[in-house]
Amino acid sequence: MKRPRGGHVLVVDDDAELCELISLRLEARGMKVTTALTAARGLELVETAEVDAVVLDLRLEGVDGLEVLAQMRERSPDLPVVILTAHGTIETAVEAMQRGAYGFLTKPFQDHELVQKLLHATERSDLRRELADLRRIVAGTTPERLLGSSSAIAEVRDRIARVAPSEATVLVLGESGTGKELAARQVHALSRRANGPFIAVNCGALPPELLESELFGHVKGAFTGATQTREGLFGAARGGTLFLDEVGEATPRVQVKLLRVLQERRFARVGSAVEEEADVRVVAATNRDLREEVEERRFREDLYYRLAVLPIVMPPLRERLEDIPILATRHLEQAAARNGMRMPRLAPDALALLQTHSWPGNVRELVNAMEAMVLLAPEDDVRSEHVARMLDPPTSARAAADATREEGPDVLSGGGELPTLREARDRFERRYLCEVLRRSKGNVAAAARMASRNRTDFYELLRRHGLTPADFK
């Protein structure tokens, strides 16, 4: 996604006409503008939107603008805020600057003055981010980058760079194997918590009765086997980031406690009534459709909205096939180093074949394939015949056509055993997906639009029903 020239500016002023006027003036200079008519809405947007600079009225109705400035600085210390006021005095200007305002303009103001201040402010923010990135690289704290030159992965990198400096909760969405934990590690490395711990836990890998204790800790005697007080992961991640992988697997009881942590920034260990501060940034991830989970009452709606403040969608590998050469080469090199072997060369015909595979397992499947290439390729070159033996054979076009046929007689026409509602719905859903893929000739973006679903949701539906878009091209 191309960043607007001059960045994204938030205008907070209770004068709707002035907000509209400023918006028109700034948008004419290539800036993106969002307006808020109340301090509460402005503070909410600072925390949840990707804002590069703020224009703040000093005299909001019923609110002290300087106090709003202080709260904005608390939420995002590096965010430049330009103060506007019709009551300009030297004392007010000095106090605003002392509280961290980037600039100060008195109404009425000249367009060029405001535009220049905002351009300078956003340029300074960009430089600060770049300097922080360089320092982390030099210090060795930046994790392996998300590799690739596709527009899909470039958009993810841009999104991470913009959300990382905030303290907001981040939800990483995507199929299994797309690199959700790597994205979470980059959010941490580019945040102000980079020097703190990064702790990851897979919520689906722990028994439900142990997950709560693992996350929040417990006191001695809280349950059978609790022979001593134990700190949980929220305590261990203090000052850093806690990555909750497969958060959709969390039990209802754990979901309640997670909601309280995100709302109140406090939690209690299992068996204790004493609450502790949760000085932790939460990054969650899931390959589930959480909106469907909410509809099915398997996931709390209020927790979903708390987690999905700043979603990052990881694209499946089949949507970024142009990245396969660099990804394959990098993981082939790593596999050779891990096994103490010479790195073979990927022949052009091998790379071409890799780019025709549908990669249902995404980057994780590619990593495993490169490991196999290193161990099993008999010569220095990995050729197409080696790749063909490693990859699962593609589904035949005939099988794809068969998938569009009705599975048995009409179950509602009388006779035969009546399926459950869920079974009937699954059958219809599969036939529907096959039909939209047939009509779109395997174009997932077009098929998702026909079905009024986003691409991540649509790919999850295809995965659930074992359908491959390439079979419909």
pLDDT tens by residue, 149-164: 888 998 999 889 889 9
Among 298, 314, 330, the domain boundary falls at 314
Is 289 part of any domain?
yes
Is 198 part of any domain?
yes
Co-location of 307 and 172 in the same domain: yes
pLDDT given at position 416: 56
pLDDT given at position 112: 79
Co-location of 66 and 107 in the same domain: yes
Co-location of 290 and 308 in the same domain: yes
Range 360-377 average pLDDT: 85
pLDDT given at position 126: 59
Q: Higher model confidence: residue 229 or residue 377?
A: 229
For residue 471, give the DSSP letter: G
Among 314, 332, 350, the domain boundary falls at 314
Q: Where are the beta strands (DSSP E) in 263-307?
A: 266-268, 275-277, 281-286
Among 314, 341, 368, the domain boundary falls at 314
* Lowest mean pLDDT segment, chosen from 74-88, 111-125, 151-165, 401-415: 401-415
Co-location of 183 and 82 in the same domain: no
Range 180-205 average pLDDT: 91
Is 304 part of any domain?
yes
* Domain CATH number, residue 348: 1.10.8.60
- Residue 217, classified by CB atoms within 10 Å of its CB into exposed (0-12), middle (13-18) or buried (19+), is buried
Q: Name residues whose C-beta falls within 8 Å of residue 449's C-beta, 6 or more positions apart in sequence.
A: none
30 pLDDT more than 90? no
Co-location of 172 and 270 in the same domain: yes
Co-location of 444 and 298 in the same domain: no
Task: Give CA separation, 34 vs 19, 27, 119, 167, 250, in Å.
Answer: 9, 10, 16, 20, 35
414 pLDDT more than 60? no
pLDDT tens by residue, 263-302: 888 888 887 777 888 899 999 999 888 888 898 888 999 9
Co-location of 309 and 357 in the same domain: no
Range 396-410 average pLDDT: 43
* Lowest mean pLDDT segment, chosen from 36-45, 123-132, 193-202: 123-132
pLDDT given at position 123: 67
- Residue 431, classified by CB atoms within 10 Å of its CB into exposed (0-12), middle (13-18) or buried (19+), is middle
Predicted confidence band of residue 452 (pLDDT cuts 50, 70, 90): confident
Co-location of 182 and 226 in the same domain: yes
Co-location of 306 and 291 in the same domain: yes
Range 238-261 average pLDDT: 91
Helix 151-163 × helix 180-189 angle, to 10°: 40
Co-location of 14 and 105 in the same domain: yes
pLDDT given at position 406: 43
Is 183 part of any domain?
yes
Is 406 part of any domain?
no
Q: Higher model confidence: residue 87 or residue 50?
A: 50
147 pLDDT more than 50? yes
Is 108 part of any domain?
yes
Q: What percent of the chain has pLDDT over 90?
A: 17
Co-location of 310 and 322 in the same domain: no
pLDDT given at position 407: 46
Co-location of 299 and 235 in the same domain: yes
pLDDT given at position 399: 39
379 pLDDT more than 70? no
Is 401 part of any domain?
no
* Domain CATH number, residue 36: 3.40.50.2300
Q: Name residues whose C-beta falls within 8 Å of residue 168's C-beta, 6 or more positions apart in sequence.
A: 47, 48, 309, 310
Number of domain units in the chain: 4
Q: Where are the beta strands (DSSP E) in 327-367?
A: 345-346
pLDDT tens by residue, 339-351: 777 788 888 888 8
Predicted confidence band of residue 144 (pLDDT cuts 50, 70, 90): low
Mean pLDDT, the chain, as a whole number? Answer: 80
* Domain CATH number, residue 294: 3.40.50.300
Q: Which residues of 177-213 are buried (b: 16+ CB within 10 A; e: fewer)?
A: bbbbbbbbbbbbbbbebbebebbbbebbebeeeebbb
Parent domain of 23: 8-138
Is 155 part of any domain?
no
pLDDT tens by residue, 304-322: 999 988 899 999 999 999 9
Round to whole Å and give the CA distance between 75 and 40: 13
Predicted confidence band of residue 142 (pLDDT cuts 50, 70, 90): very low
221: left (phi over 0), alpha (psi -120 to 50) or beta: left
136 pLDDT more than 70? no
Range 214-223 average pLDDT: 80
Q: Higher model confidence: residue 401 or residue 347?
A: 347
